[in-house]
């Protein structure tokens, strides 16, 4: 039978190198997994090899900073300062990938410049031109001297020679992308230099054109070099992003200028473009969370693809094989780059090749394990794939003694525990009080932008069926019933309950929880006050604003989406803030709620009280662990576990999957 995605499985060439298919792994900065010299570790090699086994045509590794001594911080330690170790590890990776006919492109990026997190910098931040730091405008970045720019070029070329020596198939230059240092050279609003690296477009591109010329001179004239290129910044102003559908004047770089740049870069000798969009000033376009549509960048790539004669490789929240195939078939891109979706499922390509797209574990765009943790300085993980970076040691081992396992609660944690335990040979039954599996995600997944999360539930259902898990719905379990179950093991996954704050009037007829609103359990009035400006409260407010409601959000902290116990991606935070501002929500931070009345809410800020009109009041002030069943079962005599939000609340999907996975392996 003919494959449904024929475009994905045709070869293409980057210079002299043939790639076996049109799916490459996009570069992602794997914080926490490098060795102490910032060199790729053996664990990272295992991670990349797993994606090669999974079918990708090429791996583009995450950026390596040149040894130019320009920026001193944990994010800019140069692996090229340990040349012997670097060459040995890259050679080891290349040889391992080649066993699966997967090619290796090693990326070099120039550093951070004005987008550096100044709190981490040991010296005054440097940038292409003097100006305010992106995150802390009160911090001024000094302009690189001309000598320092030439030193940067030399350091990039020196690093490229090590990559060539190590046997990588090519080099990717993270050049005109994302608002990073290289992109600051190529963007008018950030490049005010008066030397040969500023002024005209040729001057702004000089760093990139000099680098490709010298790499090919000092390695081999046909050695493939690709360039990371962003087509559109989506900036309304400095540090201000546009939102989807907004009519605005582009402050940064637009598609037409990027096309002109691409032609010059092609003429300079680059062999392909690895595309992108957005910048640190429009952070949620650079690292698009769930609120952005899938494939959001593809239409911007199409006109550029039509104007150049080298491959255009397009990433950008491409989560499903059909979208990837269609993008190539329609000429929007030559090939696709898959990033976060390969974190979620390393076998994405092989499953597409086998026409088993429904078995692909979907990335849900939450940014909880990847982007959120990376920019919090924490180890990179994946919310839906607990095995990430444990590829070598995490094969499921059959249970020594198969047991009867009862999982009480069919949310994410419960389903993951059941899936893993059943795959190891246990006989597993899920007892779910509701009419559907999914727990708290059933309400959270209602908005149209949560399609990927809804696919995750379908994936879990498919996996549970495949592993033989019995599911009993509409089945509430009392402590006595749980203790009497024919089970050796009880896994309590009963989730969390919405907190009800002690506010006068909180039990009034006009008060609803966020879950009630999302599940449409009662009509919502025109004037709505949402109490709680965390992620849940802001998502509910966004839904209501799109429904035409007038919404006020009241938050006791000094900013929206600023609480919680888990790292929340800045892309999520900034996009929710931008969306609420665009749809004209009334925001009250550092504000407490004193009373809920029939048609108003009394609030207090800085000692002053006022009233907000409120036909409906929505409570979104967090959740408390629902662990009563577990507490009642502590002396039941059975092997007993507590997981998910029932164990730790507030949590998130990363915590739920990790909890379920750990217990499923332990039983």
Three-class SS state of 602: strand
Q: DSSP states of 229-257 as a string?
A: EES---EEETTEE--TT-----SS--HHH
Burial class (CB in 10 A: 0-12, 13-18, 19+), 507: exposed
User: Which residue among 180, 270, 291, 431 is the active-site one?
Assistant: 180
DSSP run (H or E) holding 47: helix 42-53
Could you report how far apart the first and last alpha carbons of the chain are, in Å?
A: 41
Tokens read off for 22:
């049109």
How far is the C-alpha of 429 from the C-alpha of 408, rounded, in Å?
Answer: 8
User: Cβ neighbours of residue 504 under 8 Å, at least 6 residues apart?
Assistant: 594, 595, 596
Phi-psi region at 230: left, alpha or beta (left = phi > 0; alpha = psi -120 to 50): beta
User: Cβ neighbours of residue 631 under 8 Å, at least 6 residues apart?
Assistant: none
Query: CB of 492 within 8 A of CB of 646?
Result: yes
Torsion of CA 577, 583, 589, 593, to 10 degrees: -130
Tokens read off for 455:
């696919």
Phi, psi of 544 (to 5 degrees): -70, -40
Closest CA to 75 of 132, 128, 142, 30: 30
Query: CB of 79 within 8 A of CB of 135?
Result: no
How far is the C-alpha of 99 from the C-alpha of 45, rounded, in Å?
Answer: 13
Query: CB of 649 within 8 A of CB of 638?
Result: no
Query: CB of 545 within 8 A of CB of 583?
Result: yes
Closest CA to 93 of 28, 22, 26, 41: 41
How far is the C-alpha of 533 from the C-alpha of 512, rounded, in Å?
Answer: 15
Query: CB of 409 within 8 A of CB of 656?
Result: no
Query: CB of 114 within 8 A of CB of 131?
Result: yes
Decide if 180 is catalytic: yes
Q: Which residues are catalytic?
A: 180
């Amino acid at each position: 039978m003919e494959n449904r995605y024929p475009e994905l499985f045709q070869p293409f060439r980057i210079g002299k190198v043939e790639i076996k298919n049109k799916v490459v792994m996009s570069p992602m900065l794997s914080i926490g997994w490098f060795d102490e010299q910032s060199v790729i570790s053996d664990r990272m090699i295992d991670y990349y090899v797993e994606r090669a086994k999974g079918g990708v045509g090429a791996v583009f590794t995450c950026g390596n900073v040149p040894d130019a001594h320009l920026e001193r911080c944990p994010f800019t330690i140069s692996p090229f300062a340990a040349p012997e170790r670097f060459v040995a590890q890259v050679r080891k990776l290349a040889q391992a990938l080649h066993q699966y006919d997967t090619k290796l492109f090693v990326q070099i990026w120039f550093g951070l410049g004005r987008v550096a997190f100044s709190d981490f910098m040991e010296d005054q931040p440097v940038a292409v031109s003097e100006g305010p730091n992106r995150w802390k405008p009160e911090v001024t970045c000094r302009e690189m001297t001309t000598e320092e720019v030439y030193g940067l070029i030399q350091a990039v070329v020196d690093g490229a020679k090590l990559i060539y020596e190590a046997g990588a198939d090519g080099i990717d230059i993270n050049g005109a992308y994302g608002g990073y240092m290289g992109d600051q050279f190529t963007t008018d609003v950030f490049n005010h230099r008066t030397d040969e690296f500023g002024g005209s477009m040729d001057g702004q591109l000089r760093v990139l054109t000099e680098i490709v010329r010298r790499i090919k001179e000092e390695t081999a004239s046909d050695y493939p070099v690709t360039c990371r290129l962003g087509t559109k910044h989506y900036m309304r102003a400095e540090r201000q992003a546009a939102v989807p559908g907004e009519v605005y004047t582009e402050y940064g770089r637009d598609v037409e200028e990027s096309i002109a740049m691409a032609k010059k870069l092609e003429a300079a000798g680059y062999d392909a473009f690895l595309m992108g969009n957005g910048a640190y000033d429009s952070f949620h376009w650079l690292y698009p969370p769930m609120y952005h549509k899938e494939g959001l960048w593809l239409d911007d790539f199409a006109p550029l693809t039509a104007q150049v004669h080298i491959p255009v490789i397009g990433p950008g929240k491409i989560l499903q094989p059909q979208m990837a195939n269609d993008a190539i078939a329609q000429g929007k891109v030559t090939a696709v780059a898959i990033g976060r979706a390969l974190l979620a499922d390393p076998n994405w390509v092989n499953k597409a090749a086998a026409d088993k797209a429904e078995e692909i574990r979907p990335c849900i765009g939450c940014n909880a394990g990847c982007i959120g943790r990376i920019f919090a300085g924490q180890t990179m993980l994946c919310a839906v794939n607990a095995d990430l970076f444990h590829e070598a040691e995490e094969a499921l081992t059959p249970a020594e003694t198969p047991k009867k396992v009862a999982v009480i609660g069919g949310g994410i944690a419960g389903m993951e525990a059941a899936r893993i335990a059943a795959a190891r040979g246990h006989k597993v039954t899920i007892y779910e009080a509701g009419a559907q599996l999914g727990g708290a995600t059933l309400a959270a997944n209602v908005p149209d932008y949560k399609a990927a999360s809804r696919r995750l539930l379908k994936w879990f259902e498919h996996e549970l069926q495949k592993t033989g898990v019995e599911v009993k719905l509409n089945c509430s379990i009392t402590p006595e019933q749980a203790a009497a179950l024919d089970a050796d093991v009880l896994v309590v996954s009963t989730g969390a309950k919405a907190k009800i704050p002690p506010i006068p009037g909180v039990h009034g007829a006009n008060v609803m929880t966020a879950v009630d609103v999302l599940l449409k359990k009662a009509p919502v009035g025109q004037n709505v006050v949402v109490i709680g400006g965390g992620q849940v409260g802001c998502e509910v407010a966004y839904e209501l604003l799109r429904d035409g409601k007038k919404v006020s959000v009241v938050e006791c902290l000094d900013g929206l989406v600023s609480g919680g116990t888990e790292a929340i991606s800045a892309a999520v935070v900034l996009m929710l803030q931008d969306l609420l501002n665009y749809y004209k929500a009334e925001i009250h931070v550092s504000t407490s709620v004193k009373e809920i009345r029939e048609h108003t809410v009394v609030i207090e800020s800085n000692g002053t009280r006022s009233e907000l009109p409120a036909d409906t009041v929505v409570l979104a002030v967090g959740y408390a662990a629902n662990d009563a069943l577990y507490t009642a079962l502590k002396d039941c005599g059975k092997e007993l576990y507590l997981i998910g939000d029932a164990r730790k609340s507030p949590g998130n999907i990363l915590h739920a999957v990790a909890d379920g996975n750990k217990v499923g392996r332990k039983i």
